[in-house]
Structure 1
Amino acid sequence: MSKNIKLIHPRNQITEVISRIYKRGMTTTSGGNISIIDDNGDIWVTPSAIDKGSLRASDIICVKKDGTIIGKHKPSSEFPFHKAIYEARPDIRSVIHAHPPALVSFSIVRQIPNTNVISQAKHICGPIGYAKYRLPGSEDLGDVIADEFKKGYKAIIMENHGTVLGGSDLTDAYERFEALEFCARTILYGTQIGTPNYLTDEQIEAFESQAKGVLPEMESVEYSSEELEKRLEICNIVKRSCQQGLMISSYGTVSMRLKEGDFLITPTDINRWDIDLDDIVQIKNGQREAGKTPSRAAWIHQEIYNRNPDVNSIIMTQSPYLMAFGITGKHLNVRTIPESWIFLQDINLAEYGTHFRTHNNSEIVDNCSTALIIKNDSVIITGDKLLQTFDYLEVAEFSAKSIVLGHGLGEMVPINDEQVEDLRQKFLT
């Protein structure tokens, strides 16, 4: 989907995003609905009782400002609360409602996830509202949800129902939806292995403050054939990471070394699902490609490349099972299966704040390990080829998932020291 969504018809926007939600397992065939209100006041909305896994643009319904319905299906049964939200909040131009499993878990125990579990979610999601249970599809449900939106919320937990989120456009709403479900999943997985720790508002503000400032612009830029190939490789890995649930719209940085300390890196403030070749930022001699803003983590990538000549690609992201260890501070023992240990060896935990510019960050950049978790922030994976680095990320997330899922079965029995030494002799010497 193009970054300039104003140039895409609401029908196509809706089908693209509902497809993402369905394929990521965040709604069912019959569940969930999306709408957009256009400049004419007409509301475009998903249809009722039509397979969410195969929606086409022609299936999307238009409810005109005067109430006339245009389309071959009935509008979603939840259309009343979409309409109520738009009437209550003129700044809201798109609404997403779905039943993602983790947020439903919070809704059925009648709790709100604490988004201070990771650095940026508080600013993306904002404060979270809570709507009492009402009959689905009823005007009464629309009233209680609209009342919550009138309080200024853009994200609402619906009691025994799911969640509803609004945004200035569909991309904004989806980023909020994805970030909130990520927080919920990470908290749930974290509680399986320990006690989640949360950042204070002061810690989050300190992160936001230190992350500001960009590199100076270079006067001219050249694009070699090799660089163009690497741009495509970065875009493909970013989109694959999003599809695999290893990266979310609002967070994730990928870079590749060009030569010496020069590299390509993903930008900041661009939805990861929509990233394109011309979004990638060239960094050369400590300067950035003109007119582009690199990831706020660009300085960490630069330091890793400068101090680790064998590292040629870096992925810095948040994946839910790895971050379960990041928010609890529990050690992730990757001696689960031979492949995990061979690829990753040991995964260390760095304290929150060690990734700040002003901190002595040698723990992160010196003798850079294949995988490192920064508490309540991210995981950093390094490697030679980018596909190899992505494979390491997948292996790390699978290892973390196996441990979280196995925790309820009994105590983990890792590969022993003798077995590890055999692996070392065969594969690493």
Structure 2
Amino acid sequence: MNEQSLRELIAEIFRLAYTRRLVDLLGGNASARLSGDEVLITPTSTPKVIIKPQNIVKIRLDGTVVSGGKPSSEWRMHVAIYRVRDDVRFVLHTHPPNILALTRAGLKIDMSLSEAISYVGEVIDVPFLRPGSNELAEAVSRALSRKNVTAVILRNHGLVTVGVTPYEAFNRAEVLEDLAYITLMSSCHGK
């Protein structure tokens, strides 16, 4: 896939994520790995619902900006994931409310449901670490260094999903948010 197509897909995925209430207007971020050591990533402090392909920032794995404005404050986490996972081509970081509510309640997503088995893989939780920090980047990349892990819940913060395609990463976030809702509703009714 060429760079322009990836830019368009990042913008499209963010419109979908906003519509699906996985992110708020300014929250969340996404990236796609280009060949070599370059990554496309959403800019910081930009309303994601109106993001355009030309707004996407290009950086190197060391964080150097190649083109565009200022990258997401979570750029360290994105590049750390790409360093440990050659198979990952797309990273999506969302703030899904049901997942956040579930973790605040001290509950875990019921991963026995068929959607989890079919689409997600293993999910690992990491404790709250300051957003944008090297510590968060290290904790998430360490969790994702295992090939069967496709999602990381960031306690009191959000969710990171990865995939070969943007749609795979998005679907994992969407499925996990739905499963969190089902788990919450089941818990409220004593099931």
Provide TM-score, normalisation by structure 2: 0.91
Deviating above 4 A after TM superposition, structure 1's stretches of 4 or more consecutive aligned residues are none
Counterpart selection for 2:110 from 111, 114, 122: 114
Q: Given the alignment of the two structures, is residue 89 of structure 1 paired with residue 81 of structure 2, yes or no?
A: no
- Mapped contact 2:61–2:79 kept (Cα < 8 A): no
The alignment yields a C-alpha RMSD, in angstroms, of 1.7
Deviations 1:304-356 (CA, angstroms, capped at 9, x unpaired): xxxxxxxxxxxxxxxxxxxxxxxxxxxxxxxxxxxxxxxxxxxxxxxxxxxxx
Classify the secondary structure of the residue corresponding to 2:48.
Answer: coil
| 1:123 matched to 2:118 | yes
Decide which of 71, 74, 88 is 1:75's aligned counterpart: 71
The answer to whether the 8 A contact 1:107-1:162 is kept is no
Distance 1:60 1:95 in 2: 14
Q: Distance in 2 between matches of 1:141 and 1:43?
A: 19
AA aligned opposite 2:144 = F
Residue of 183, 187, 191 corresponding to 1:191: 187
1:27 — aligned with what? 23
Q: Distance in 1 between matches of 2:107 and 2:93?
A: 18
Aligned length: 189
Say which of 135, 143, 148 aligns to 1:140: 135
Alignment of 1:273-292 (within 5 A): none
- Conserved in 1, the CA contact under 8 Å of 2:102 and 2:108? yes
2:145 to 137, 147, 150: 150
Deviations 1:60-111 (A, max 9, x none): 1000356431344210001101111111111111111110110111232344
Q: How does 1:301-312 map to 2 (within 5 A)?
A: none
SS at match of 2:47: coil
Q: Which residue of 2 aligns with 1:51?
A: 47
Partner amino acid, structure 2, of 1:93: R
Give the counterpart letter for 1:75 in structure 2. P
CA-CA distance at 1:190 after TM superposition: 3.0
Which residue identity does 2:146 align to in structure 1?
A: K
Distance between the aligned counterparts of 1:136 and 1:18, measured in 2? 19
Shift of 1:46: 0.5
Q: 1:124/1:52 Cα in 2 relative to 1: closer, same or farther (>3 Å)?
A: same
Higher relative contact order (CA 8 A, sep 6+): 2
Higher strand share goes to which structure? Answer: 2
SS in 2 for 1:129: strand
Check conservation: 1:59, 1:71, Cα contact below 8 A. no
Unpaired segments ≥5 residues, structure 2: none
| Aligned mates of 1:163, 1:99 — CA distance in 2 | 6
Distance, in Å, in 1 between the alignment partners of 2:125 and 2:106 is: 9
For 1:57, give the aligned amino acid. Answer: P
Q: Which amino acid aligns with 1:180?
A: L
- Asked whether the 8 Å contact 2:115–2:175 carries over to 1, the reply is no
Contact 1:40 1:65 in 2 (8 A): no
In 2 relative to 1, CA 72–145 (structure 1 residues): closer, same or farther, beyond 3 Å? same
Q: SS at 2:177's partner residue?
A: helix
Distance 1:32 1:85 in 2: 16
CA distance in 2 between partners of 1:133 and 1:101 (Å): 16
What secondary structure sits across from 1:91 in the alignment?
A: coil
Give the counterpart letter for 1:107 in structure 2: T
Distance 1:34 1:60 in 2: 10
Q: CA 1:111/1:85 → structure 2, altered by over 3 Å: closer, same or farther?
A: farther
In structure 2, C-alpha distance between the alignment counterparts of 1:88 and 1:76, rounded to whole Å:
20
Find the structure with the greater CA-based Rg.
1
Matches within 5 A, 1:293-372: none
